[in-house]
């Protein structure tokens, strides 16, 4: 027995939507996790080389905004 085309089409759209949403959340999670690892790395550099806190604060700020810029331009839902 043949399937109805409309139900098959909605089935495909539904699974595509689920895949897209899951991919988006995984992408956000990876971005935040990499950001956390980078901050941790620079924190250990701070401990090792004994940088002052003022420099560390601006370094974190620069990395944070740089990653936000990369993330926003690589996101598929916006056009840069």
Assess if residue 36 is contained within a domain.
yes
Helix (H) or strand (E) holding 24: helix 5-49
Structure tokens at 5: 């085309």
3-state secondary structure of 54: helix
As for how many domains the chain has, the answer is 1
pLDDT in tens, 18-62: 788 778 788 778 878 887 888 788 777 777 777 666 677 777 777
- pTM for this structure? 0.43
Assess if residue 65 is contained within a domain.
yes
Supply the range of the domain harboring residue 30. 19-74
Structure tokens at 65: 């905004």
Assess if residue 4 is contained within a domain.
no
pLDDT in tens, 52-77: 666 777 777 777 777 776 666 555 55
Assess if residue 52 is contained within a domain.
yes
Closest alpha carbon to 57 in 31, 36, 39:
39
């Amino acid at each position: 027995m043949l399937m109805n085309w409309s139900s098959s089409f909605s089935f495909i759209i539904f699974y595509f939507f689920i895949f897209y949403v899951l991919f988006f959340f995984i992408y956000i999670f990876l971005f935040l996790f990499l950001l956390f690892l980078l901050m941790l790395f620079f924190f250990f550099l701070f401990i090792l080389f004994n940088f002052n806190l003022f420099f560390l604060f601006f370094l974190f700020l620069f990395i944070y905004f740089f990653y936000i810029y990369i993330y926003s331009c690589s996101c598929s839902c916006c056009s840069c």
